Amino acid sequence: MALNKLWNTISPLLKNKYILTITLFVVWVAFFDQNNLIDRFENMHKLNQLNKEKEYYQKKIEEDKKRLKELMSDKEDLEKFARETYFMKKDNEDVFVVIEE
């Protein structure tokens, strides 16, 4: 009985060629098209991740520029940085690495 009522409601809609065409078009665009909704959501998610990475790297660039400016302005800081990071030394000295626990 309920199925018959449902069929009587849907039947005229399926016979209408405009509604059927629009429905098929929407289904096609939503699921089967090259730029379907699933791909759009995935691409939007990737775009958000890339924007977050971009912000992170921009902050790192600013920090590195600031650090570079500090190093270039003070020769002692530059020497300390070179010794600690790259283990550079003068010809007549030895460098010992002390690891704190």
DSSP per-residue string spanning 60-71: HHHHHHHHHHHH
Does 1 share its domain with 24? yes
- Residue 14 pLDDT > 80, yes or no? no
Does 68 share its domain with 80? yes
Confidence of residue 101 (pLDDT cuts 50, 70, 90): confident
Distance, CA of 71 to CA of 78 (rounded, Å): 5
The total number of structural domains in the chain stands at 2
How much is the pTM? 0.56
Nearest to 79 by CA among 63, 97, 70: 70
pLDDT of res. 48: 98
Distance, CA of 27 to CA of 61 (rounded, Å): 46
Give the structural domain span for 47.
36-91+94-98
> What sign does the dihedral 27-31-32-34 (CA atoms) show?
positive
- Residue 90 pLDDT > 90, yes or no? no
Does 47 share its domain with 80? yes
